[in-house]
Amino acid sequence: MDENKLKAKLRNGEPAIGVFVRMNAISVEILGHTGWDFVIIDAEHGVHTMEDVSNMVRAARSVGVSSIVRVPGAAPINIMRSLDAGADGVQVPQITSLAQVTAAVEASRYYPRGQRGACAYSAATGYSTTPFPEHLETSNKEVMLVIHVENAWAAEAIDEILAIKGIDVVFCGPWDMSQSLGIPGNTTDPAVTALIDRTLAACDREKISTGIFVQKPEDAEAWLKKGVKYIACSVDVGMYADTAAKNAKEMRECIGKFRHEA
């Protein structure tokens, strides 16, 4: 596995910006061409097949943008297949037990650091063109594991979660956190921010990078000030919808002006 540019950037204390992708490989290519550091291929809320995921990972590699797959859950098969497709890392949502964290760590690393299923004939190995011992060594070093903390249990158990070695980034989910507290959508409620702040403080003590989802760029500043470096800004379909609505409105205003002048 080549050097993980995203992991290196975070290790150096530099912020990185990405976008959740619900569309397709073309969307990945556009995001790579337009200056984003990483894409999160959303296999949790998205409707992607593994073939779709594989094509999006391949597209990411072609334009030099890092690829993280948000898997449907912590089941080892989800993690193994995403990494075998050549993804730079996986993002594991809906963590509700320490056993899930352990399973995610084990599935994302080969022996002696884990129990990832071994296959020398995958996209991750260049279909066997990379010597397997080299693949084992570089993958254990470069694969990035992102764990979601997006419910009250996970935030309150953050010290126990971080005691499980092998986590590269803890990603805070304000939307699901608000839902777990019975106030869905109230992402700025003090109860939500208190649990996120608790999580960030624990990660800072353990020197673990943190991530967050923001809907628009101006929302990122407050989190950057709190030390968050892995910033997921919006979703490709939302960006598309916003731009489409803006352009349609401007076109109708143009047509209205033309009619008035005519």
With a pLDDT cut of 70, the percent of the chain lying above it is 100
- For the residues 150-179, what does the mean pLDDT come to? 96
User: What is the average pLDDT across 170-192?
Assistant: 94
Mean pLDDT of 177-195: 94
Handedness of CA 195, 200, 206, 208 (dihedral sign): positive
Q: Average pLDDT of 43-56? A: 95
**Joined tokens for residue 197:** 């702040």
Burial of 79 (0-12, 13-18, 19+ CB in 10 A): buried
Q: What pLDDT, on the 0 to 100 scale, is given for residue 204?
A: 97
pLDDT tens string 99-146: 999 999 999 999 999 999 999 999 999 999 999 999 999 999 999 999
Average pLDDT rounded to a whole number, residues 224-248: 97
Position 252 pLDDT exceeds 90: yes
Confidence at 262, pLDDT banded by 50, 70, 90: low
Answer for the pair 69, 50: CB distance below 8 angstroms, yes or no.
Answer: no
d(CA 77, CA 81): 6
pLDDT at 261 over 80: no
Contacts for 83 with CB less than 8 Å, ≥ 6 apart: 89, 90, 108, 116, 124, 139, 143
Split at pLDDT 50, 70, 90, the class of 23 is: very high
Mean of pLDDT over the chain: 96
Residue 259: predicted pLDDT: 75
Whether residue 191 has pLDDT greater than 70: yes
Strands (E) across 22-134 are located at 38-42, 66-70, 89-92
pLDDT at residue 12 tops 80: yes
**pLDDT beyond 90 at 258:** no
Provide mean pLDDT across the span 138-160: 97
Paired tokens of 161: 């979660």
| Distance separating alpha carbons of residues 75 and 93, to the nearest angstrom | 11
Q: What are the structural domain ranges in the chain?
A: 5-261
Distance CA 193, CA 215 (A): 16
What's the CATH code, domain 5-261? 3.20.20.60
Q: What predicted TM-score, i.e. pTM, was given to this entire model?
A: 0.95
